[in-house]
Amino acid sequence: MVLHQIPISGYDCVDYHGRDKSMVDRMQYPETDPRHHTIKLRNMLDEAADHAREDVGKIDDPRGQALFETSAEVLGGLSRALSDFEARNEPAWQDRQS
């Protein structure tokens, strides 16, 4: 089955059933698999980081700008950690071999 990706405001993309892509990605894992949940959380963190970066330009106070930019960087780091867990990229997330 081929999924057609259609950009829609507020979502990265949706499948042909109108579900957002993160939902489709999550559906490949059972609810008991942590990746089912990390995908949703990662998308939420990415959205919050994007929002914080957008708000930097709306704030006049340099300390406030630094706070929002730092917040975006921290959220991005958490998102990368979740992505590494999903992909098993880091030694800590890989299965130990006997």
Decide if pLDDT at 14 tops 50: no
pTM for this one? 0.68
Cα gap 21→15, rounded to integer Å: 6
DSSP H or E run through 7: strand 6-8
pLDDT of res. 15: 43
Q: Compare 9 and 59 and report the one with higher pLDDT.
A: 59
pLDDT tens column, 41-91: 999 999 999 999 999 999 999 999 999 999 999 999 999 999 998 888 777
Decide if pLDDT at 1 tops 60: no
